[in-house]
Amino acid sequence: MENHGPNSTVPNKSKFNNNFDIKKGINKALTSQDSKVTPSTNGRKLIEYTYKNAIGKNSNGKPVNTIRVVVDKFGNVITAYPRK
């Protein structure tokens, strides 16, 4: 997730806004009934939660309001990043 932090200098990555609490955002995505869950490879799941306001920017600098959390088959968080 460090590649997607607001101060990350990694190119071609979406970045969370400075004022977005990433841990709280992950928890919201994992616990909300409004989250969308999609199966992925190797037993992983993609969990997305969409906020009303922007939580970050995509790799082109466009504001985005959805957090995607990737969890493994045991429920461990692999990564999280802003998208859409």
| C-alpha distances in Å from residue 80, one per residue of 22, 62, 67 | 8, 18, 7
pLDDT at 81 over 80: yes
Q: How far, in Å, CA of 36 to CA of 21, rounded?
A: 20
Q: What is the pLDDT of residue 1?
A: 62
Q: How far, in Å, CA of 15 to CA of 9, rounded?
A: 10
Q: What is the pLDDT of residue 3?
A: 87
pLDDT in tens, 2-58: 789 888 989 999 999 999 999 999 999 999 999 999 999 999 999 999 999 999 999
